[in-house]
Amino acid sequence: MQKKIFFAFSIISTIFADFITDINMENHMDKKSKKTIGNPLFHLFFTCLTGLIIILFCYSASAQTITTDTSQAESVAVANSQSQADIDSITVNSSFRIVVKDTPLLVEHPYKVLLAERKINFSFGAILRGLLGIAVILLIAWLFSLDRKHIHWPTIGKALLIQLLIAIGVLYVPAIQVVFEVLGKCFVAVLDWTKAGTNFLFGTLMDVQNFGFVFAFQILPTIVFFSALTSLLFYFGILQRVVWVMAWLLTKAMKLSGAESLSTAGNIFLGQTEAPLMVKPFIPKMTRSELMLIMIAGMSTMAGGVLAAYIGMLGGGDRLMEIEFAKHLLSASVMAAPGAIAISKILKPQNEQIDNSVIVPKDKLGKNILDAISNGASDGLKLAVNVAAMLLVFYAMIAGCNFIFLKLGQYSHFNQLIVNWTNGQYNSLSLQMILSYLFAPVIWLTGVCWADLGLVGRLLGEKLIMTEFVGYQSLAELIKSGAFTEVKSIIMATYVLCGFANFASVGIQIGGIGGMAQNNKHILSEYGFRALLGGTLVALISAAMVGMFL
């Protein structure tokens, strides 16, 4: 029954996408393109491609079976191994603790052994499915393109090749693995430095064994410290030099303008409104294609401060897991840069003259070292408070929506049907249940196994409708509960959630980037939802590329 639901959602999603595409084409295509779209051969091609996706989708559903989660069985075994007389109470919390006779007993990370194995399954089926997913994602971008006849496919090909090589390097090439692992250890070291400050402020409240993994104490201070550290690196000019090298490489490899390549490279380390500050003088004179790239790059990459926070969330206090997730989170953000170039140059190709010179501003964030640190700390505090307020509101909104859905399910007697249809995975109508089935067909294209489609689909929905912070927090909770059938799904979920692509970011970019160039604010408003689509597609391409080799 669950497979039938996924099948129905895949057909509905396809029909809806075709409907939206027709509207988009009617509004934005020139006469020549409309003739092409009106050609019966085009519709035959699109129908055949849709049919192929549905057939492979159903075949995958029939070929795979949902296996029993081994980590949950191990937890039960631990509990059963204790005699009934010795057990006063058994509780499992977010720190993987089992309390026996009020004594905390730490339980291993559910996927620690499998993640540490780094086992790579090279299969023709996975590669074929990944290539199909990438082709469909590129087709979606092409359908929403504003100027198809000026798309420069060699640039698109180079960007995708770089993105793919990074994925292969992280999984296969020892030298590149070492680089990302070293960078990952640096981020983990930053987390350790932060603990010195938080231990001073909160004392015994930082004791995970006694109080559990408290988000406000373990994660939010990381954002404050990393913001101050970034400001310090910017003051000394270290960050600018690193960004300049990456921007120079992007400019030479793909013939980008110096300003857009500089902003794209900066987005790997900075936020979606902080990176454009590096090219603030050039934004008022930027072309539409350059503005599109700045927006999509901002939505598809992650700032260093929140990246460090995600490492702490997903690692759950386990140093080995923090390093492992740091590697994948870093590679996801780096892969997003060339991916953003590919998608943005499809959605809005460059057809104007550009300046290829790469000029890094020499402005410093502060008059001296202490001023730079204090400015960074203040900005980090604002971001941390904003994140805390955002999570509080969104989790409250989710609870409110689920309450309404629960009552609707009770009055319509739909809840019991959901329990039967989902094999007990969901016990009532909820926002998570709706999102999981709505986005499952899209997630299937990336190569996630059948049993975990609903989970990853739900995470993508939470990222788009709420924020990626909510998505990563949900991923951390699912990891701790041992909900995933395959470790591959966990790794791919980290790539799917990468970036700031959510509805709130549309407003943030219009206000933040638009404040630097009032004359281009109407263009930012016009491209807002296309940038959201582009950022989402970049994350899906990265996940599909990594999924081919897992």
Residue 61 is predicted with a pLDDT of 46
Query: DSSP states of 396-424 as a string?
Result: HHHHHHHHHHHHHHHHTTHHHHHHHHTTT
Provide DSSP, 138-156.
HHHHHHT-S-GGG--HHHH
How many domains in the chain? 1
Inter-residue contact 153 to 349 (CB < 8 Å): no
Q: What is the pLDDT of residue 119?
A: 57
The span from the CA of 284 to the CA of 519, in Å, is 7
Is the pLDDT assigned to residue 144 strictly greater than 70? yes
Sign of CA dihedral 189, 194, 200, 202: negative
61-78: b (≥16 Cβ within 10 Å) or e: beeeeeeebebeeebeee
Q: Is the predicted pLDDT of residue 342 greater than 70, yes or no?
A: yes
* Predicted pLDDT at 272: 79
Domain span at residue 93 reads 70-106
Contact 365, 234 (CB under 8 A): yes
Amino acid residing at 494: T
What type of residue is 77?
Answer: A
Rounded to 5 degrees, what are φ and ψ at 360?
-95, 130
Q: What confidence category does residue 212 fall into, taking pLDDT thresholds of 50, 70 and 90?
A: low
Residue of 322, 129, 69 whose CA lies nearest to 218: 322
The larger pLDDT score, comparing residue 2 to residue 547, is at 547
Give residue for tokens 């959605």.
Answer: 347
- Estimate to the nearest angstrom the gap between the alpha carbon of 384 and the chain centroid: 19
DSSP tag of 276 = G
pLDDT of residue 225 exceeding 60, the answer is yes
Tell me, what's the pLDDT at 49? Answer: 53
Q: Does 291 reside within a domain?
A: no
SS3 73: helix
Does some domain include residue 79? yes
Helix axis angle, 2-28 relative to 431-438, nearest 10°? 70
Residue pLDDT, tens place only, 3-57 = 444 444 444 444 444 444 444 444 444 444 444 444 444 444 444 555 555 445 4
For 387-422, how does the pLDDT look when each residue is reduced to its tens digit (9 = 90+)?
Answer: 788 778 877 888 898 899 889 988 888 888 888 887
Most confident of 102-111, 251-260, 508-517, 538-547: 538-547
CA–CA dist 198, 196 (Å, integer): 6
% of the chain exceeding 90 in pLDDT: 19
Residue, of 351 and 338, whose pLDDT is higher = 338
pLDDT value, residue 12: 46
User: pTM score, two decimals?
Assistant: 0.73
CA distance 419 to 440: 18
pLDDT at 545: 94
Please give the pLDDT value at position 417: 87
Determine, yes or no, domain membership for 102: yes
Complete DSSP assignment for 180-194: HHHHHHHHHHHHHHH
Cβ atoms 112, 74 nearer than 8 A: no
Neighbouring CB atoms inside 10 A of 135's CB total 13
- 25, part of any domain: no
90 is a domain residue? yes
- The more confident residue out of 159 and 18 is 159
**Alpha-helix runs per DSSP H in 29-152:** 31-38, 40-63, 70-81, 112-117, 124-143
DSSP codes joined into one string, 191-259: HHHHHHHHHHHHGGGG-HHHH---HHHHTHHHHHHHHHHHHHHHHHTHHHHHHHHHHHHHHHHH---HH
* pLDDT of res. 543: 94
Shortest CA distance to 499 belongs to which of 347, 272, 344, 341? Answer: 272
How many whole angstroms separate alpha carbon 1 and alpha carbon 251? Answer: 51
pLDDT of residue 6: 47
pLDDT category, 118, cuts 50, 70, 90? low
Residue 92 lies in a domain: yes
Q: Residue 99's pLDDT is what?
A: 35
63 located within any domain: no
**Within a domain: 254:** no
